[in-house]
Structure formats: structure tokens, C-alpha cells
């Protein structure tokens, strides 16, 4: 979830609770501090505006008509946000690793493919469209997993990879698992 979500959500709920409490008193013809109720109203309106901004920053074309629809949208956004984090984590994993091969030209070729894959992951993670689903485990195990995929046994996962991440798929198809050293630069 975006870091501001819980705070803004809580802020709206708290403001609304206080405002509803004020309205309840009015309904029971009890005395209320009108200025205070107006402040609660303003606070609730501001919290609502903040939430709308957050939602629209992730899904610019989003629309909703009820709290249920809004909560469903927030849940969806949370998933998108997690998917983006996953892509960025894998991009970092790719950047952190190194490749070794007997031929310098092959290392250069693979470095170019890696660079394109990293760029693709970062672009897919940018705000705007919903990113495609990246199949497979978390970033630290992802390359090992992807290098073990083979046709025709893993056709479904490979199709998902290819259709969403063509450059990443190119990199993986060309990578042999013994060429990859995760995290630190390999000592040649």
C-alpha cells in the first residue's frame, strides 16, 4: 500500500466520525459548537480530497459512487502498487548482479539485454497504465526460476513472460544460469 494510504484513510474516517457525532447531536436537538462542526466538515472534505488525489494519481480514469466501490478501488490500487514494487525489486536485482562468460563479446551482448530488461521493468512500473503480471517468485529467486523454465513444459509461464515483458524474456532466454552471479560482482 502507498505510505500515505493508512493515514489519509484514517483521517477521513476520524473526521467523518466527529462530524456524524455533531449531526447526531443536532438531530437530538442538543446544543453543538457550530464552528467546531464546520471545522470537522472541512477536515473531512480535505481528507476526502487527499484520498481522491491519491487514487487518481494511480488510476487517473478511476470513478466510484459508493464507499464499497471506493474500498474495492483502493484494494485494486494496492495490488497495482505491489505489482509495481515487484517490478522495481526485480529491476534492482538485475542491476545488482553480474555476468561471467569465456567471451567478452557475449558478456557485452548480455549486458545490453540486461539493460533493456531493466529499462522495460522500470517503464512498466511507472504510474499510469496497470502493469502486466510478472509470473514467478520474488526478485531474489526470480532469475534462478526463470532460467529453469523450458518449453514445452512451462509454456504458460513463458507466454505470460513474453507477452508482458519481451525484453526481460529475451534476456532470460539468452542467459545460462551458470553465467549469473547475484548481488555482488563476480571475481573472474
Q: How far is the CB of 144 from another protein (least distance, A)?
A: 13
The nearer residue to another protein, 119 or 155, going by C-beta atoms, is 155
The nearer residue to another protein, 57 or 177, going by C-beta atoms, is 177
Residue numbers at the binding site for another protein (CB under 8 A) = 102-106, 109, 148-151, 158, 169-170, 173-174, 176
The nearer residue to another protein, 115 or 154, going by C-beta atoms, is 154
Please, are residues 84 and 90 in contact by the beta-carbon 8 Å criterion? no
Q: How far is the CB of 187 from another protein (least distance, A)?
A: 15
Q: How far is the CB of 133 from another protein (least distance, A)?
A: 20
The nearer residue to another protein, 67 or 102, going by C-beta atoms, is 102
The nearer residue to another protein, 27 or 102, going by C-beta atoms, is 102
Q: How far apart are CA 107 and CA 119, in angstroms?
A: 18
Q: How far is the CB of 162 from another protein (least distance, A)?
A: 8
Q: How far is the CB of 169 from another protein (least distance, A)?
A: 8
For cell 544460469, the residue is 177
Amino acid at each position: 500500500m502507498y505510505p500515505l494510504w493508512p493515514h489519509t484513510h484514517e483521517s477521513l474516517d476520524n473526521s467523518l466520525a466527529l462530524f456524524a457525532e455533531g449531526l447526531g447531536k443536532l438531530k437530538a436537538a442538543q446544543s453543538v459548537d457550530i464552528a467546531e462542526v464546520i471545522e470537522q466538515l472541512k477536515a473531512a472534505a480535505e481528507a476526502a480530497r487527499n484520498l481522491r488525489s491519491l487514487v487518481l494519481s494511480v488510476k487517473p480514469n478511476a470513478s466510484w459512487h459508493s464507499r464499497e466501490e471506493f474500498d474495492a478501488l483502493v484494494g485494486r490500487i494496492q495490488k497495482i502498487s505491489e505489482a509495481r514494487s515487484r517490478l522495481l525489486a526485480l529491476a534492482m536485482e538485475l542491476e545488482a548482479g553480474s555476468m561471467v562468460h569465456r567471451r567478452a563479446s557475449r558478456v557485452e551482448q548480455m549486458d545490453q539485454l540486461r539493460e533493456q530488461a531493466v529499462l522495460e521493468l522500470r517503464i512498466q512500473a511507472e504510474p499510469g497504465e496497470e502493469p502486466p503480471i510478472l509470473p514467478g517468485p520474488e526478485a531474489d529467486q526470480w532469475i534462478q526460476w526463470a532460467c529453469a523454465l523450458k518449453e514445452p513444459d512451462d509454456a504458460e509461464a513463458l507466454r505470460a513472460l513474453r507477452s508482458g515483458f519481451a525484453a526481460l524474456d529475451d534476456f532470460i532466454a539468452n542467459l545460462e544460469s551458470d553465467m549469473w552471479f547475484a548481488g555482488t560482482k563476480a571475481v573472474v
